[in-house]
Structure 1
């Protein structure tokens, strides 16, 4: 096919030699096209700062404080979160490789295995989950704004008339914060990079200040660390540990798929790998430790675990302290939300309608869906947050990760035809744009992972004995089940066909 050659640079990164080859394709636009080498300038610091911004946020804090609220002591909660992030780092780095090598975002990467049209299945699945996260983060940021204004304006603001169970001033704060984030995403990916670079360190300082304030009130670190676990280390702990670990892994399951959206801008594999190794496990362990110490301290100071940092900040008497703390909370939320929950679905929605949606308009669509999902319901309870929301979608996305890892590393051995990812009739067109093998592997992996979803009586939307009762035991390990099932099924369906194709090609060449 004329004009579809690709240039392999000495460091292994690949660039499309002639971009005109895909210019007229209905499956390409400016955002989805491979990144030019001149645009690939993110350094190790940029990726470290990106993860600091994404990890140092209120939902990350809620992740750790939620485990304390469920009965774990500081050591149990810390080990659970740290182990979860070390595990999820593996598929995250494996899928990041393609973004750096080929300069492509996640939905284009998925085309190699799901088909040019079929890639919309994993892309939209990931996009709608990101919309849910965007809504959750925006609601939290709106709460912080509502609280700040209440401290300054008085009870007239805080005790305003209610609409649908919430003060109308809270709804106004929510919508204002939503608009602020839409403005940031309208500035584009480069504006996001600059924002992350200066916001991330400020957020870290804010969380440390909150922890120190609680330590002073609690009388130091000793009383906090001496608190026993309500679960012990026997069956009660292990019953919660497995699903909690899956929730910790699932927290970044979305990024383990779509990290190519960011690594496509990397200067090289070393920069993105080192930046992510420094960024994810260390920053998540740090925020977990800060959150655990702070939440455990609230048990001593206030008599019960306050797992929401916005609520905790309001306990301080000084309006200046409250305002500074909540401004930092707003920065933390914006830093994570725009990077983790708007960039990806913007690419994903644009992939579905590349001729009608670009990065900015798709970002606006993400924001609208994030409101429709009603995020305030998802974070009303730590059990719903960890065991329903995180565990369920984690199992779904894990099956997609299994397909991508199997296809890229074991079937194609990291070798892709760059132009073919955008052109009908290429090797990635499969059958009418769909690869049924990837769809079957994803569907089967998802059913095995979440088909047994269950909830304790009165603690969630699922039946007590599971949606599919005989699969109930697998739900406690939803992410692992989904990853392994998607990986194994895709290889089982693809490798025999791949070997037959290779044998046919060799036989033809020998005629």
Structure 2
């Protein structure tokens, strides 16, 4: 029997469609396992595997790199869980949630910023997936031309678009199956390579030799640590904003909190360790004793075609898992928020795919310095201020109380001035300017190294100060409309 929709007065069709509507209480079915699987699926990917390599290449020891990765993920878990609360309580996605702080139209500013970063990540993951397919093809046809990598890139892009078209339930199904499979494959690769190399003791001793020069890390560690920690926080700063897109499906607050806490830091740290240990083993077992950081290159170098194909298929599944979960769901909703009556979730996903190609991902991931200090740290200065405004607004200004119907109307309490909360936008601009000013003013470069933290603190502080004064309210009452809407009937815990 079909569920009866709630009928809500005042919902504007310029702010609502089925993809942006609240999830009804009875339809919120994700438990701790689903959220743990989500993070395993997103964390077990090639960029995670290679993250430690960028830190070690810069001069850290493997222990310092692993500790920095763990600390960064514990830190980013805090805003992740805080922003997740509204999604689990009210069943609303990120672009609707952010209307409370930025206004029903002003929400498009942070939503589009988040979406554009996701497009860059989407392109990077598609490029990595294309390289994996190219490596698979080379196993079967070693003489294939190098230009074929572009066809492989296009093929993986199309595969991602197919998942988008099939919708959120397909994404959930892929994660449920792919997460444990990928973890098993990663652990199997670890123990197989370590066994060939002579055991963990031998491998970790070899890993200690990754550092370029003896003693180089001690005086340089803190100079490396700060931007590296910021980059690691920036790695998941995107999902720290749009986590309500997932927690809106949560059975309870406990389910999303436990699932995320048990999923994110352990999975990231474990897979980074696998990357370090397996790479150290390659120094011992490969004929030229050269470290192979890229798992695509490593698996493609195996002389057993069956093993190579299984490994590369696993990498492909990992990349697909991460891409559709971390880089498709949010921008699809964000672009839909621009014009809900015209842009659905699926159309938003297609827009994401096109922009992901236009950002030229092969350049973004060209080298470790550009990847960490340019890409990760740079965009963290854009997203940190958004998180600061959102968290201060929800937990301090509104004390976790939202008028859900008001988030979908023009002329309501979230109208502010013409749909924009100018105070939130001013705080956002202040946070971004202070976070990124170090790119242009050399003596202030240290601010850029702390970009996410600086932007978060400045924007949150400015917003709290501005919102302590009188708040603009809508001049005109909302125009009553009668639209069948499901989901406005039950808050979560």
**Taking structure 1 as the reference length, what is the TM-score of the superposition?**
0.88
In structure 2, what is the Cα distance between the partners aligned to 1:411 and 1:129? Answer: 28
State the match for 1:427 in structure 2: 413
Superposed displacement of residue 23, structure 1: 5.1
State the match for 1:191 in structure 2: 170
In structure 1, what is the Cα distance between the partners aligned to 2:262 and 2:191? Answer: 24
Superposed displacement of residue 45, structure 1: 0.5
Residue correspondence of structure 1 range 400-419 to structure 2 within 5 A: 400-419=386-405
State the match for 1:36 in structure 2: 24
State the match for 1:489 in structure 2: 462
State the match for 1:8 in structure 2: none
Secondary structure of the 1:398 match is: helix
- Render the CA deviation track for 1:141-169: whole Å, top value 9, x for unaligned: 111111111111231x2xx2xxxxxx331
State the match for 1:178 in structure 2: 157
Match status 1:259 vs 2:238 = no
In structure 2, what is the Cα distance between the partners aligned to 1:379 and 1:31? Answer: 32
Secondary structure of the 2:438 match is: coil
Secondary structure of the 2:301 match is: coil
* Match for residue 386 of structure 1 among 369, 372, 387: 372
In structure 2, what is the Cα distance between the partners aligned to 1:326 and 1:98? Answer: 38
CA contact 1:68–1:292 (8 Å) conserved in 2:
no
CA contact 1:74–1:293 (8 Å) conserved in 2:
no
Match status 1:129 vs 2:117 = yes
- Render the CA deviation track for 1:216-275: whole Å, top value 9, x for unaligned: 343322233222544645221111111111111110000100000000011110111111
Secondary structure of the 2:399 match is: coil
Where structure 2 has 5 or more consecutive residues not aligned to the other structure, the ranges are 474-493
State the match for 1:367 in structure 2: 353
Q: Which moved more, 1:184-193 or 1:20-29?
A: 20-29
Residue correspondence of structure 1 range 237-386 to structure 2 within 5 A: 237-301=221-285, 302-386=288-372
In structure 2, what is the Cα distance between the partners aligned to 1:375 and 1:72? Answer: 26
Superposed displacement of residue 210, structure 1: 2.6
Q: Which moved more, 1:362-371 or 1:208-217?
A: 208-217
Secondary structure of the 2:98 match is: helix
Q: Give the total of aligned pairs.
A: 463
CA contact 1:130–1:254 (8 Å) conserved in 2:
yes
Root-mean-square deviation (Å): 1.7
In structure 2, what is the Cα distance between the partners aligned to 1:47 and 1:374? Answer: 31
Superposed displacement of residue 70, structure 1: 2.5
Residue correspondence of structure 1 range 48-63 to structure 2 within 5 A: 48-63=36-51
Structure with the bigger RCO (C-alpha within 8 Å, sep 6+) is 2
Change (3 A) 1:111 1:202: same
CA contact 2:59–2:217 (8 Å) conserved in 1:
no
Change (3 A) 1:65 1:212: farther
Superposed displacement of residue 17, structure 1: 9.0
State the match for 2:486 in structure 1: none
CA contact 1:403–1:487 (8 Å) conserved in 2:
yes
Secondary structure of the 2:415 match is: coil
In structure 2, what is the Cα distance between the partners aligned to 1:430 and 1:371? Answer: 37
Superposed displacement of residue 398, structure 1: 0.4
Where structure 1 has 5 or more consecutive residues not aligned to the other structure, the ranges are 1-15, 161-166, 454-466, 502-511
Q: Which moved more, 1:51-60 or 1:308-317?
A: 308-317
State the match for 1:477 in structure 2: 450
In structure 2, what is the Cα distance between the partners aligned to 1:315 and 1:450? Answer: 42
In structure 1, what is the Cα distance between the partners aligned to 2:386 and 2:283? Answer: 40
- Render the CA deviation track for 1:157-199: whole Å, top value 9, x for unaligned: 2xx2xxxxxx331111111111111111111111111111001
Change (3 A) 1:23 1:441: closer
State the match for 2:56 in structure 1: 68
